[in-house]
């Protein structure tokens, strides 16, 4: 019985740590600027479907897009 209680207590502590890690992850996640979303929507409306070789190419295309 004592071992079961210790296991439950240990499990509860592990769950508390996991919840805190999830909260930290949510807080760290960056927000997308509204003007960035406008640029993405503009690209989508234009119907430009282009393959990119890297994230940098995609970022450059978005940043140079006309709003």
52 and 36 share a domain? yes
DSSP state of 49: -
46 and 59 share a domain? yes
19 and 51 share a domain? no
38 and 65 share a domain? yes
Cβ-based neighbours of 58, under 8 Å, separated by 6 or more: 52
Domain count, the chain: 2
21 and 38 share a domain? no
Q: What is the pLDDT of residue 1?
A: 77
Token digits for 11? 């499990």
Report the predicted TM-score, pTM, of the whole model to 2 decimal places: 0.37
Q: What is the pLDDT of residue 51?
A: 77
Cβ-based neighbours of 63, under 8 Å, separated by 6 or more: 39
Domain containing residue 21? 1-30
Residue with tokens 């999830």: 22
36 and 62 share a domain? yes
How confident is the model over 7-62, as pLDDT tens digits?
888 989 998 888 888 777 666 656 777 787 787 777 766 666 667 888 888 888 88
Report yes or no: 38 and 67 within 8 Å, Cβ to Cβ. Answer: yes
Q: What is the pLDDT of residue 44?
A: 67
């Amino acid at each position: 019985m004592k071992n079961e209680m210790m296991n439950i207590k240990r499990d509860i502590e592990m769950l508390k740590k996991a919840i805190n890690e999830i909260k930290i992850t949510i807080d760290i996640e960056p927000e997308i600027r509204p003007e960035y979303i406008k640029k993405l929507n503009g690209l989508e409306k234009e119907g430009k479907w282009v393959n990119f070789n890297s994230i940098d190419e995609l970022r450059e295309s978005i940043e140079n897009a006309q709003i």
